[in-house]
Amino acid sequence: MGEHLKNLIYISIAFLVGGYSQAWETDNISTRVQLLKQSETLVRHNLYLINDQSNEMIEAAINHFNKKNRCEEDSKSNNPKIYAMVKNTMGGGFISGALEDWVEESDSGVKIPSLKGVDIYSVFHWNPEPPMNLAGHVVGTDKLGHFIDQGFELFSKYKLERNDIKDVLKYSESTEETFGMYGLLPAGIKSYGDLAANFKGLHFYLNLLSGKDPHIKCNIKNGRYYLAKPLNWADYIDASLDEGVNCSLFHSMEGPVTPALERMYLKKSSDINSQGKSFRKNLKKLYEEIYSLPENKELKLNNFCPVESRKCDAILGLNCAAYTVSPQCFTSSSSTRSYSCSEILPGYPVRKHKYKSYQYPSGAVKVIKHDGTEALKN
């Protein structure tokens, strides 16, 4: 298929799905103060609810597999069926996946504050979804879908088709670029948070059956898979999934990030397009009205993106950061940067967090109070 024909097809698809772009984009900035001030009880409660639901879905996929298949044969194949079964159970949607939809449902028990106040993305004429505080990070619900569905796509290209990791991440970037399905074409935004979520999802699928501590193991005696290590989202989530830190771009700029691209970004950002100018104007207004209030000073939020630039330091040293972290983080920090991208092995991207005690099922109870108060039981 010629490149011109491909572009026409992509454009046609964009017109068809453009009305749904609001389901793909989140505003990680307007409710940030509210999210960062959520109680530790509520943050832990939400995390454990999402963990529990995720593991219920993984167990459903395992049970479905075990009805007609034996794990010892599957686990030794070049393309185990269990991978796709987990992906289809947790994700699988065109606009959004099963877990993402569940989190957004009012009766899921996950408390996500509604958007109000300054409309940061007003110039785009679509309504963004509100994010949540997931394990201490401001993360859009769309990142769950990217993690599960696009993460599986990257895993397939990397592990099953044996492509070089740099080529796989270049492909991931193309989905957010000018003729990609998820970024600049339908919504006018290139989301590095999406790229980071895709990459974390690749890690998840590598850990599904492989490594020292896989999520799923095979019982050779009875030929059945079982859930050995329940999924804890805190093991995968970091600031790279936060679009208030790992800032989106409003124009094309193909990576990976290099010193030369950083210089190009600084030059290009001084002549930013109308969408970018509107975003900056709205962010400054939000800073004046909310971020700079005396009761919010302790959060040390900026009137530009990254609104928490100090959090860039933690993600700039990550493997393959040049492919998943925005040029805005690179140019906003004096921290040591990593431009390298080496082979990805099974293991958990985030090692240190305060949610290691999670056990499945957690015992968290879905309690919804219509007056907005935190009535939580564990």
pLDDT tens by residue, 51-79:
999 999 999 999 999 999 999 999 999 99
Look at residue 148 and tell me if it is in a domain.
Answer: yes
Distance CA 224, CA 321 (A): 38
Domain extent for 76: 3-107+115-332
**200-246 per-position pLDDT tens digit:** 999 999 999 999 999 999 999 999 999 999 999 999 999 999 999 99
Residue 218 domain flag: yes
pTM of structure: 0.91
Instruction: Categorize the per-residue pLDDT at 126 as very low, low, confident or very high, splitting at 50, 70 and 90.
Output: confident
Give, in degrees to the nearest 5, the angle at Cα 34 between 48 and 237: 40
d(CA 61, CA 55): 10
Looking at residue 121, what is its pLDDT? 85
Total structural domains within the chain: 1
Distance, CA of 248 to CA of 26 (rounded, Å): 11
In a 13 Å sphere around the CA of 197, the CA atoms on its Cβ side amount to 27
With 90 as the cut, is the pLDDT of residue 91 above it? yes
Taking only the tens place, the pLDDT of each residue in 308-358 is 999 999 899 999 999 999 999 999 988 788 899 999 999 999 888 999 999
Residue 165 maps to a domain:
yes
Task: Give 5's contacts (C-beta < 8 A, 6+ positions apart).
Answer: none
The answer to the question of residue 139 being in a domain is yes
Q: d(Cα 290, Cα 297) in Å, to the nearest integer?
A: 10
Is the CB of residue 110 less than 8 Å from the CB of residue 277?
Answer: no
Cα–Cα distance measured from residue 166 to residue 36, given in angstroms and rounded to the nearest whole number: 34
Vertex 205 angle, CA 203 and 211, to 5°: 75
Q: Is residue 359 part of a domain?
A: no
Please indicate, yes or no, if residue 229 is contained in any of the structural domains.
yes
Tell me if 363 is assigned to some domain.
no
